Amino acid sequence: MNIEVQGNKVVIDGKEVSAADVEAVIRLLTLTRANMQPPVPLEMEHGAEIHVLTDPHYYTDIPKDHPGHTLLAFRDHGQGWRGVLIPLHEVAKLMGYWANQISVFTQPKVEASKLN
């Protein structure tokens, strides 16, 4: 398969393809990568380069077909909606982490000169 990117156009094997075709290729590659070796590391490596979404649209719900889980989905401009099912005990951990981060960001700053 020959894939070329020409500005905002994608050409696969000499034929310009649609956004839906590109999404299908991304899904196929993602599913294929999931079964390749070595697997994606379980832990994120310190300093690893990652694709970061800034202030993304998100959606959360309690899926009826996965009791004890919550769905958290983010809109990626290039990959569409990406979701995870999180067990409730992990949701509680995340809430604790986020509450901690909020308290760090909202603590009043104290000037060093006022500490003396």
pLDDT digits (tens, 9 = 90+) for 59-105: 999 999 999 999 999 999 888 899 999 999 999 999 999 999 999 98
On whether the CB atoms of residues 61 and 71 are closer than 8 A, the answer is yes
Tokens found for residue 92: 């509680």
Name, in order, each residue with C-beta under 8 angstroms of 25's C-beta and a sequence gap of 6 or more: 3, 12, 17
Angle in degrees, CA 61, 70, 42, rounded to 5: 135
Q: Which residue has the higher pLDDT, 111 or 45?
A: 45
* pLDDT, tens digit (0-9, with 9 covering 90-100), for 10-45: 999 999 999 999 999 999 999 999 999 999 999 999
Domain map of the chain by residue range? 1-44, 51-116
On whether the CB atoms of residues 72 and 60 are closer than 8 A, the answer is yes
Residue 115 is predicted with a pLDDT of: 59
**Residue whose C-alpha is closest to residue 73's, from 56, 88, 89, 90:** 56
Residue 99 is predicted with a pLDDT of: 95
pTM: 0.72
Alpha helices in 3-110 (DSSP H): 19-34, 88-106
Residue 109 is predicted with a pLDDT of: 74
